[in-house]
Amino acid sequence: MQALRRPHAITLSLVLLTLFGALRPSPAHAQRRRSARTATPAEAGPQLYRSANFHMMTDLPRDEARELLQRLETMHRLVAAYWGRRNTRPIEMFVVDDLSNWPAERLQQMDPQGLASIRAQAGLTMTQVISNGKQFASKSVVYAVADHGTPQHEAVHAYCGHAFGNAGPVWYAEGMAEVGKYWRENDKSVGASEYVIQYLRNSPIRPLNDIVNNPLETTGDSWQNYAWRWALCHLLGFNENYTKRFKPLGLALLAGRKANFWQVYGTQAQEIEFEYRLFIQDLEPGYRCDLCSWDWKTRFRGVTSASPTVSRIRADRGWQASRLQVRKGQTFRYSCDGEWELAKGEEAVTADGDDQGRGRLTGIYFEDYELSEPFELGAEGTFTATQDGNLFLRCGDAWGEIADNSGTIKVELTLDEEAAVTPPEPQSP
C-alpha cells in the first residue's frame, strides 16, 4: 500500500482518497498510559474540543483533552514554521482513550478504516485531495488512540495533507511525523521513546538505502521501520552537515517533485553513512546531533617538526579535530591548558576529569570512515598510536549530557623525542 499518491489530474475535481497509515504499536515494554483518574459521568462520553487548528472529538477527561489540544497547537506552530506553510483549515480528529466510552452513533461517524486502526491501537490520517493538476484543495481527518504520541504523529500527516496535499515518500512522511511528534521548542535533543532508542542501539544497523529506497516498505508496516525512519530524519534535520539540504529536499518531496535522497546527498554518502552509524551507536535521550556533527573540514597533519600541534577542545561538543595525523607506533607527548565544567554551576575540572573520571580528555582514531575504540588521555602524559589515523578528542561525558557543559581546553601534541629514537615495543597480541 502506497502511503500517499500524488493527486492525479485525470479529470477536474477528481477526489482521491489517500491514506497515511500510522502504526502505533504497543510493544510490551512501552506501557500504555493510564493515569490515575476517574472520569466523572459528565465526562464519560466523547466531547468536541476546538482550537485554532484542531477540532478534536475525544473521550479524554477535559483537562487532558485541553492539554493535548495545546500540545497539538504548539506542534503545529513548530511544523508550520519549519515547512513555511500554514495549515489551511482546522484538522478534524477523533482521539480515543477507551472505545467503550463511545456510543454507537459516534462510532458511526468514523470511517471504518479509521475505526479499525483505533481498534488496532494505532492511528490513521485520511486525506481527500481534489486536484485539477495545478491547484488542490484537501481535507484530512485523523483517527488516533490517545497514547504513544499517536495524535501528534497523525496531526503532522494531516498538516502536510492540508498544506501540501501530499506527504512525500514513506520514509520521509513517517520519519517526519515521528520527528514532529517529539518536537519541542528550542530543543534539538533526542526525545524519542526509550523503547525506540533501545531497539535502535541493539539492532543490526539498517543500511541507509534500505530506509530511503525500499519499495516493499509501506506506511503502517512496523514500529521498527518507523524507528529507522525517525533516526534518519532526525539526523538529517539536526546534524549541521546535512540540515541545510534537508529542508529543500523535504519541500521538493512534499511538492511531489522528482527528487530523491541520493540526488541530494549522493556526494556525501560516505559521510552520512559514517555519522548515521555513530548516531545510532551513541544514541541516548538528550543526544545532540548538532553538537556531535563530525568535522570534515579541518586538515590533519603528521608531525614534521618540533612545533606542537595545537587544538582547542570544547566541553560541549562531540569528537573534535586535534589536527594531528598519527602513524602506528609513534609516541606523542600531550599537555593541556584550561578547565571545563560538566554542568552549570559545577566545579571546573582539568583534562584529568573529576575523581570519577568524568571530564577526562578522551581520544579516538578516525581512519577511512572507521573509528578505533576511544582511549583516555588526561591533562598531561604520553601515548603511543595503536594504528594510523586522525586523532579526534573530546571531553569524556555521557553523550546525552554534553549540551550543558562549558569551557575549552587547549591541547598541545608533540612527537616524544625520547621514544622516537627507540623503536616501539612489539604490540602484545
- Asked if residue 177 binds Zn ion (CB under 5 A), the reply is yes
Instruction: Measure Cα distances from 398 to 144, 145, 207, 284 in Å.
Output: 36, 35, 26, 9
Quick one: 63 exposed, middle or buried, by C-beta within 10 A (0-12, 13-18, 19+)?
A: exposed
Whichever of 23 and 60 has its CB closer to Zn ion, that residue is 23
Q: Quick one: 174 or 341, whose CB is closer to Zn ion? A: 174
Question: Which x/- pattern over 131-170 shows residues binding Zn ion (rule: CB under 5 A)?
Answer: ----------------------------------------
- Residue 177 CB, shortest distance to Zn ion, in Å, is 4
**Segment lying near Zn ion (by CB under 5 A), choices 14-22, 30-38, 307-315, 356-364:** 14-22
Q: Point out which span in 173-181, 257-265, 309-317, 348-356 binds Zn ion (CB under 5 A).
A: 173-181
State which of positions 68-107 bind Zn ion (CB under 5 A).
Answer: none
In the complex, the smallest distance separating the C-beta of residue 19 from Zn ion, rounded to whole angstroms, is: 10
Instruction: Candidates 20-28, 130-138, 289-297, 409-417: pick the segment binding Zn ion (CB under 5 A).
Output: 20-28
Give the shortest CB-153-to-Zn ion separation in angstroms: 5
Q: Length of the chain in residues, anyone?
A: 429
Comparison of 142 and 177: residue with beta carbon closer to Zn ion: 177
Of 25 and 407, nearer to Zn ion (C-beta) is 25
Q: Which residue is nearest to Zn ion (CB)?
A: 22
C-alpha cell at 243: 540540515
b/e per residue, 257-289, with b = 16+ CB within 10 A?
A: eebebeebbeeeeebbbbbbebbbeebbeebbb
Closer to Zn ion by CB, 22 or 69: give it: 22
Distances (CA, A) of 19 to 111, 214, 247, 305, 374: 12, 19, 24, 65, 46
107 vs 96: CA distance, rounded Å: 11
Residue 97 beta carbon to Zn ion: minimum distance, rounded to whole angstroms: 20
Q: How far, in Å, CA of 250 to CA of 169, rounded?
A: 10
Shortest reach from residue 190's CB to Zn ion, in Å: 19
Give the range of 17-25, 126-134, 301-309, 385-393 binding Zn ion by CB under 5 A: 17-25
Size of interface with Zn ion, in residues (CB under 5 A): 3
CB of 126 to Zn ion, least distance (A): 12
Task: State in angstroms the smallest separation of the CB of 125 from Zn ion.
Answer: 7
Pairwise CA distance, residues 112 & 107, whole Å? 9
Q: What value, to the nearest 5°, has the Cα angle with vertex 271 and ends 314 and 269?
A: 160
Taking the C-alpha atoms of residue 257 and residue 195, their distance in angstroms, rounded to an integer, is 35
DSSP 401: G
Please list every residue from 354 through 413 that binds Zn ion, using CB under 5 A. Answer: none
Distance CA(318)–CA(340), nearest Å, equals 14
Q: Count Cα atoms within 13 angstroms, Cβ side, for 77.
A: 11
* Pick 199 or 300: Cβ nearer Zn ion: 199
Which CB, 56 or 177, lies closer to Zn ion?
Answer: 177
Nearer to Zn ion, 24 or 206 (CB): 24
Give the shortest CB-335-to-Zn ion separation in angstroms: 53
Q: Which of 19, 22, 200, 393 binds Zn ion (CB under 5 A)?
A: 22
CB of 155 to Zn ion, least distance (A): 10
Beta strands per DSSP E along 2-157:
14-22, 47-50, 54-58, 91-96, 123-131, 136-145
Nearest to 239 by CA among 296, 200, 285: 296
Write the single-letter amino acid at 400: G
Q: Which is nearer to Zn ion, 22 or 361 (CB)?
A: 22
Q: Which residues bind Zn ion (CB under 5 A)?
A: 22, 174, 177
